[in-house]
Amino acid sequence: MKNSIMTFREKKEKGEKIAMLTCYDYSTARLMDAAGIDGVLIGDSLGNTMLGYPDTLSVTMEDMIRYSTGVARGCKNALVVMDMPFMSYQLSVEQGLMNAGRLMKEARGQAVKLEGGARVCPQIRAMTDAGIPVMAHLGLTPQSVNAFGGHRVQGKTDDAARQLMEDAHKIEDAGAFAVVLECVPAPLAARISQQLKIPTIGIGAGNGCDGQILVYQDMLGMFNDFTPKFVKHFSNIGEEMSRAFRDYISEVRSGAFPDEEHSFKMKNEDILSRLY
């Protein structure tokens, strides 16, 4: 049965943890879905992992639609959430609603995600009023990396912690069905999770959150440009891929591949003598 925003709420009510990963293509989506993942996020982190940008700011609506479409087709059970890219919702409520509608109609996911607290509550209300489920994102919001002065843990001071708590309540009141907490001290994230009725999805926010999400290339050891402190390598697929690539190159160059087993035969090779 297809997971929905109600599935996430029910999991929180039952005390069941929610497992999410980022995803950017059909083949990976099929594998994650078959493994039983609760939800996938087509994150604007594709700017880093798929397009090679140094940040997420250059990702466009067209990028998000193109990548999200394949993932949505590959997920039969997982909830598919799609990031709204930088400057696709910040200018106005109308702009945000139009672009969220494009993602839902053209990419066929089940929800959108946007960054920010009180300042984006009008956009959240408008989207949810229009029937578009919204996942919020607080703490380290990568689209604001320049304003933060880098990738820094958020909510470490009294004032910052109080602001995060207030923003969390405001986005819940605005209608968000869940919120990502990124790079937030674990005790603060746990307190926010206890106070909210909606699920919290942590990334670098400790195990007191209602669920967790990681960039899948990070947790598989496939992306080595940088490794955040909160990333655990559940496998070193990157090393295995590199070995396979080297073996392939070696066999092609030596002529060992393709061999007879991986080649096609002719029923009658005599015809070859009659070909010019």
Q: How confident is the model at residue 149 (pLDDT cuts 50, 70, 90)?
A: low
Do the beta carbons of residue 170 and residue 162 sit within 8 Å?
Answer: no
Q: What percentage of the chain exceeds 90 in pLDDT?
A: 87
**Chain centroid, CA 141 distance in Å:** 13
Percentage with pLDDT > 70 across the chain:
97
CB 219 within 8 A of CB 205: no
CA atoms within 13 A on the CB side of 56: 23
**Inter-helix orientation angle 158-174/186-195, to 10°:** 30
Q: Which of 94, 166, 172, 182 is catalytic?
A: 182
Average pLDDT over residues 202-218: 97
Indicate if 182 belongs to the active site: yes
pTM over 0.85: yes
Radius of gyration for the alpha carbons in the chain, expressed in angstroms and rounded: 22
Question: Which of 106-115, 149-158, 163-172, 215-224 is least confident?
Answer: 149-158
Distances from the Cα of 212 to the Cα of 20, 95, 101, 186, angstroms: 6, 30, 27, 13
* Residue 79 reports pLDDT greater than 90: yes
pLDDT of residue 143: 85
